[in-house]
Amino acid sequence: MIPELGTFALILALLLAIAQSFFGLVGAHLNRQSWMAAVTPTVAGVWVFIALAFGLLTSSFIVNDFTVLYVATNSNSALPLMYRIAAVWGAHEGSLLLWVMILATWALLVAGFSKSLPVAFRARVLGVLGLVGVGFIGFTLFTSSPFARLIPAAQDGADLNPLLQDPALAIHPPMLYMGYVGTAVAFAFAVAAMLSGKLDASWARWTRPWTVAAWMCLTCGIALGSWWAYYVLGWGGWWFWDPVENASFMPWLTTTALIHSLAVTEKRGLFKSWTLLLAIFAFSLSLLGTFLVRSGVLVSVHSFASDPSRGMFILGLLLFFIVGSLTLYAIRAPSLKSEGGFAIVSRESFLLLNNALLVAAAGLILAGELWPLLMDAFDLGKISVGPPYFNLVFLVPALPLVMLLGVGMHASWKRALLETRRKQLLIAAGGAIVVALVLLGIYRSIGAPLTVVGFAAGFFVMASALIEPVSRWRSGQSMPRAALGMAIAHFGVGLFVIGVTGVVSYKVEKDVSLAPGESTAIAGYEFKYLGAKPVTGPNYEAIEARVLVTRGGKPVVDLPTQKRVYRVQRNPMTHAGIDVAWNRDLFVALGDDLGQGKWSMRVQYKPLVRYIWLGALIAAIGGLVAILDRRYRSVRVTESPALKPGAAGETA
Amino acid sequence: MTPRRKRMLAVGGVLLGVGAAAALAFKAFDKNLLYFYDPSQVAAGVAPVGKTFRVGGMVTKGSVQRAPGSLEVRFVLTDYAHTVTVSYTGLLPDLFREGQGVIAHGQLHDGLFVADEVLAKHDEKYMPPEVAKSLKHATPPEDRT
């Protein structure tokens, strides 16, 4: 009964979403007030029925209803409750329901916080979101229903993939999806602006907080995935340029560009058509990512077993939204004139460079992602594009981007040079180089050729981000939240760069074969294998090896590492032992029984690795602070006054 | 600057940027493309010697050997027509096992494929698409489970 109710709720949600897009788009077009007034209740209705469907599926997981095919294939009665809930989005069907659930939630939030927007504009935004909803609720219902029955019922479930039984992975997909789907809001604002033919500073001001919110979720989601891969999957790697990682990184790059471009559109009325295009790109890349993962065109660690009909459906959706929005863009963009110009050295030109570099990086990653598919399609050989390609094409735009960031933060709108902050910037740059050299001294190695550049750039950005808050604090001035958020986010970027530089330059990895009592040394740490014994977990058996780490004869930590075999799926899984300190991680992973009491092990020293995720987290917090700026709360339909030159760091 | 000159400058800048990006992409592709060969192609001498490429196939049952206590492991990859012996020193992925499809990344030396990386994906039903394709024409001599 429960799954049938779930299907029924989805059907009602689909019908309401159709009504939502119809009343929103057609109502605004014909200017029928009563139709537009009907949009808000439909948005609430869609949310209620999707939430009902989601709750019903979750309850099927909680009570172990193995008459539901999706529950039987992805859960098990021995699975702890927390993972039975996380298993709801552990495979294709449920994760789509989550996608739709998050879309409905975004739409509800937009409806709730946009009461002060012009009626027709608001109706259009919600109408476009309704259209996206129709596509994806339809996709869920017609190709991937999580409520299909299994008759006769299974004795017990096939269990959740052991790799997914992890706290970080329980929240990684919802976070990432919130980001992915959040780009739909910026997209809806862009399409509504094109439909109404009006794009002014207030449009940019409405769009900014939603875009930043999506960006924030995307940042956290990607960072969580990276962290999970580091300790569960990757044997200590934090980024693999895996096709699915790229699928989430490309929307991140374009959304980052969009945030910056929106700043120019709001403050200076420039880059209008470019901003629209970026909003379309960001959403299209999110859809493309969904298509590439769900269709089975790309196979990676993340992709679920997939079938062609699903791929065709998403391809159809993808084409509809991309072709539709680009056609609208071609018709409407020429009428959206930007007003005014700017000098070669100005905040505008720095932001233009920022956009060019971010989009170039996204484009080059996209090329690496699609090239093997093209080669294969034309039978030109089976190739793959590996990490060296992506490292190179990402680093080339990213390095100047980071270096320009430290300076660009202090450039003023329109024309100003950097006189006001020249002294502080020089001190920051000099200090950064000194600190970078000191770090090289501490690690007693010059490292990779780019090590000193990476450290110096990272410290420079951090120092530069602090200039404005510190000087305001010292003179007793308050700082607008948007400016403070920007400073925090850029500080996070600098910290991230330090982390990446440290771990790439000075990490040590070693595969060893050890008998009990034997030891191996890396980076001044001695790893002594004490012995292994069997242990039992709630739903797995494991061999646990204990490794004692000492430094200069003094004990540092006793690291246990496990090789687990989960009872239902019988897949072995390594559970690494990790010791965390502010300046490094020590990492031990147990390999195979080599015979004669010896085990293979991978021991690793990962300097500064934590700053990669901490930097990302701080950047996301910066986004949150910026959203809370008072400007966004009291939205009035007025033009924002153009900023006076010289008031650098005011907002952006 | 006249608006016209400004526009020319902008168009020129965009073209220059796109050109530079394209040049970078092609150069990076040229150096970092990895070709995939199946064991039959390796046996026929199509695959290059002393150059990095990827080879994929099923791990032949009973072929995994290692000297006790040693990190080096050898196994035989097959596409049910030809085989190639792979040597790898280090930790094998969790899901590496006999009868499973894997991809090895490395170089061919004197008929032995010396791998620096072995990939087996986390899903037990998973088969690398390249391997699946190269097995399409061959019939497995035994039931693989």
Residues B47 and B118 reside in one and the same domain: yes
Of residues A275 and A570, more confidence is placed in: A275
Q: What angle do CA A146, A147, A153 make, to 5 degrees?
A: 110
Mark yes or no for CB contact A595/B6 under 8 Å: no
Q: Give the span between the Cα atoms of A545 and A530, in whole angstroms.
A: 7
Q: pLDDT, tens digit, for every residue of A473-530?
A: 999 988 999 999 999 999 999 999 999 999 999 999 999 999 999 999 999 999 999 9
Most confident range, picked from A170-174, A357-361, A441-445, B8-12: A357-361
Which whole-number Å values give the CA distances from A600 to A170, A529, A585, in the listed order? 30, 11, 20
Distance (Å) of CA A7 to CA A16, A45, A91, A339, A530: 14, 15, 18, 51, 55
Instruction: Kindly report which listed range (A156-165, A493-502, A527-536, A596-605) carries the lowest average pLDDT score.
Output: A156-165
Residue type for A473, please? W
What chain B residue is nearest to A395 in terms of C-alpha separation? B24
Q: Residue holding tokens 């702890």?
A: A80
Closest Cα in chain A, distance from residue B108 (Å) = 17
Supply the pLDDT for residue A304. 46
Between A384, A385, A596, which is nearest B69 by CB?
Answer: A596
Token digits of residue B128: 């690398």
A381 vs B21, B31, B35: nearest CB: B35
pLDDT of residue A470: 93
Angstrom distance (rounded) from CA A83 to CA A166: 8
Please name the helix (run of DSSP H) or strand (run of DSSP E) that holds residue B112, with its range, or none.
strand B112-119
Task: Give the pLDDT confidence score for residue B127 in this predicted structure.
Answer: 53
- List the 348-377 stretch of A: residues with Cβ below 8 A of B: 356, 360, 363-364, 367-368, 371
3-state secondary structure of A160: coil
Using the Cβ of A138 and the Cβ atoms of chain B, whether some distance falls under 8 Å is answered with no
C-alpha separations of A508 from A22, A237, A525, A604, B72 in Å: 59, 12, 11, 6, 20
Residue B141, in any domain of the structure: no
Cβ–Cβ gap A299/B129 under 8 Å: yes
Query: What percent of chain A stands above pLDDT 70?
Result: 94
Specify the amino acid at residue B48. Answer: P
In sequence order, which residues have a C-beta less than 8 Å from that of residue A15 and are 6 or more positions away? none
* Edge-to-edge strand list for the sheet holding A508-514: A508-514, A598-607, A584-595, A577-581
Q: What is the pLDDT of residue A370?
A: 87
Mutate to test the interface with B, among A300, A370, A383 (most CBs of B within 10 A): A383
Higher pLDDT, A410 or A21: A21
> What one-character DSSP code corresponds to residue A550?
E
Confidence of residue A620 (pLDDT cuts 50, 70, 90): very high
pLDDT of res. B121: 62
CATH number of the structural domain spanning residue B58: 2.40.50.140
Q: What is the rounded CA–CA span in Å between residue A102 and residue B90?
A: 43
- Name, in order, each residue with C-beta under 8 angstroms of A199's C-beta and a sequence gap of 6 or more: A193, A265, A272, A276, A336
Q: What residues of A are in contact with residue B128 (Cβ under 8 Å)?
A: 299
pLDDT in tens, A338-382: 777 777 778 888 999 999 999 999 999 999 988 888 887 787 877
Q: In this structure, are residues A461 and A611 in contact, taking their beta carbons and an 8 Å threshold?
A: no
Q: Is residue B140 part of a domain?
A: no
SS in 3 state form for A299-353? Answer: CCCCCCCCCHHHHHHHHHHHHHHHHHHHHHHHHHHHHCCCCCCCCCCCHHHHHHH
- CB of A573 within 8 Å of any CB in chain B? yes
pLDDT of residue A636: 46
- Angle at the Cα of A634 from the Cα atoms of A633 and A636, rounded to 5 degrees: 130
- Burial group, residue B39, by CB count within 10 angstroms (0-12, 13-18, 19+): buried
Strands B101-109, B53-59: pairing is antiparallel
Q: Are residues B108 and B76 located together in one domain of the fold?
A: yes
Q: Report yes or no: A565 at the B interface, CB cutoff 8 Å.
A: no
Cα-Cα-Cα-Cα torsion A357, A358, A361, A364, nearest 10 degrees, comes to: -90
Whether the Cβ atoms of residue A295 and residue A144 lie closer than 8 Å to each other: no
User: How far is Cα A123 from Cα A183, in angstroms, rounded to an integer?
Assistant: 18
Whether residue B77 is found in the same domain as residue B121: yes
What is the domain range of residue B91? 36-135
Rounded to a whole number, what is the distance in Å from the CA of A506 to chain B's nearest CA? 21
**B25/A381 CB distance under 8 A:** no
Q: What is the mean pLDDT of residues A88-115?
A: 93
**pLDDT, tens only, A545-586:** 999 999 999 999 999 999 999 888 787 888 899 999 999 999
Residue-level pLDDT at B3:
67
Closest CA–CA distance from residue A186 to any residue of chain B (Å): 25
* Same-domain pairing of B41 and B27: no
Closest CA to A543 of A502, A593, A578, A584: A593
Do residues A53 and A70 touch, judged by C-beta distance below 8 A?
no
Residue that has been written with the tokens 């990402």 in this structure: A394
According to DSSP, the residues that pair with A526 across neighbouring strands are A521, A550
* Model confidence at A278: pLDDT above 80: yes
Query: What ipTM does this complex have?
Result: 0.82
Q: How far is CA B135 from CA B48, B116, B125, B128, in A?
A: 21, 24, 15, 11
Band (A417; pLDDT cuts 50, 70, 90): low
Contact in structure between A160 and A219 (CB atoms under 8 Å): no
Whole-number pLDDT of residue A604 = 95
A-proximal residues of B, 22-81, CB under 8 Å: 24-25, 28-29, 31-36, 54, 66, 68-71
CA-based nearest residue to A47, from A112, A110, A100, A11: A100
Number of CB atoms found within 10 A of residue A427's CB: 12
The answer to the question of residue B145 being in a domain is no
User: Given CB atoms, is B82 within the 8 Å cutoff of chain A?
Assistant: no
pLDDT of residue A29: 95
Give the A:B interface size as CB pairs under 8 Å.
103
**Number of folded domains that form chain B:** 2
- In Å, how far is B69's CA from the nearest CA of chain A? 5
| Contacts A601 to B, Cβ<8 Å | 91
Q: Which residues of chain B have pLDDT under 50?
A: 123-126, 139-145
Res B130: pLDDT: 60
Point out the residue among B6, B91, B95 whose CB comes nearest to the CB of A602: B91
pLDDT beyond 60 at A306: no
Of A360, A511, A569, the CB nearest to B91: A511
Please report, for residues A61, A70, A72, A270, A369, the alpha-carbon distance to residue A150 in angstroms, rounded to integers and kept in the order given. Answer: 14, 8, 8, 57, 37
Same domain, B21 and B49: no
Report in angstroms the alpha-carbon separations of A39 from A9, A45, A203, A437. 19, 10, 20, 60
* Domain assignment of residue B7, yes or no: yes
Closest chain B CA to residue A304: B123
Angle value at C-alpha A468, between A467 and A471, nearest 5 degrees: 80
Within this chain, do residues B26 and B40 fall inside the same structural domain, yes or no?
Answer: no
Mark yes or no for CB contact B128/A386 under 8 Å.
no
- Give the residue-averaged pLDDT of A280-299: 79
Contact B52, B74 (CB under 8 A): no
Q: Does B62 share its domain with B115?
A: yes
Alpha-carbon Rg for chain B in angstroms: 22
Q: Are A411 and A425 in contact (CB under 8 A)?
A: no
Contact of A392 with chain B, judged by CB distance below 8 Å, is answered with yes
With beta carbons under 8 A apart, name residues in chain A contacting B91.
235, 511, 589, 591-592, 600-602
Cα pseudo-dihedral A120, A624, A418, A500, rounded to 10: -130
Cis-peptide, bond into residue A152, ω within 30° of zero? yes
B121 interfacial to chain A (CB closer than 8 Å):
yes
pLDDT tens digits for A213-242? 999 999 999 999 999 889 887 578 899 898
The gap from C-alpha A79 to its chain's centroid, in whole angstroms, comes to 28
Q: How far apart are CA B36 and CA A383, in angstroms?
A: 6
> Is the predicted pLDDT of residue A305 greater than 50, yes or no?
no
CA distance B30 to chain A (A): 9
pLDDT per residue as tens digits for the range B71-93? 899 999 998 889 999 999 988 88
Select from A360, A392, A571 the Cβ nearest to the Cβ of B94. A571
Q: What is the mean pLDDT of chain A?
A: 89
Give yes or no for A432 touching B (CB within 8 A).
no
Q: Which two tokens stand for residue A567?
A: 């009872």
Q: How far apart are CA B124 and CA B130, in angstroms?
A: 16
- pLDDT attached to residue B125: 47
| CB-CB neighbors (< 8 A) of A574 in chain B | 94
Q: Are residues B46 and B102 in the same domain?
A: yes
User: Is pLDDT at A617 greater than 90 in this prediction?
Assistant: yes
- Name the residue with tokens 């709730």: A112
Is the CB of A337 inside 8 Å of chain B's CB atoms?
Answer: no
Do B25 and B62 fall within a single domain?
no
Output DSSP code: residue B142: S
Is B52 inside a domain boundary? yes
- Residues of B within 8 A of A161 (CB-CB) are 122-123
- Report the range of poorest mean pLDDT among A119-128, A252-261, A297-306: A297-306
Is A577 in a helix, a strand, or coil?
A: strand
Query: Confidence band (pLDDT; 50, 70, 90) for A279?
Result: very high
C-alpha separations of A22 from A30, A316, A590, B126, B144 in Å: 11, 20, 58, 42, 53
Among the partner residues A301, A368, A571, nearest to B124 by beta-carbon distance: A571
Distance in angstroms (rounded) separating the CA atoms of residues A525 and A140: 52
Give me the pLDDT at residue A155, please: 86
Please indicate, yes or no, whether residues B19 and B63 belong to a single structural domain of this protein. Answer: no
- Report the chain A residue with the minimal C-alpha distance to residue B16: A356
In terms of domains, do B4 and B25 share one?
yes
Tell me, what amino acid is at A69? L
With a cut of 50, say whether residue A108 has pLDDT above it.
yes
Q: What are phi and psi of A120, to 5 degrees?
A: -65, -40
Interchain CB distance below 8 Å, A596 and B68: yes
B51 and B15, same structural domain?
Answer: no
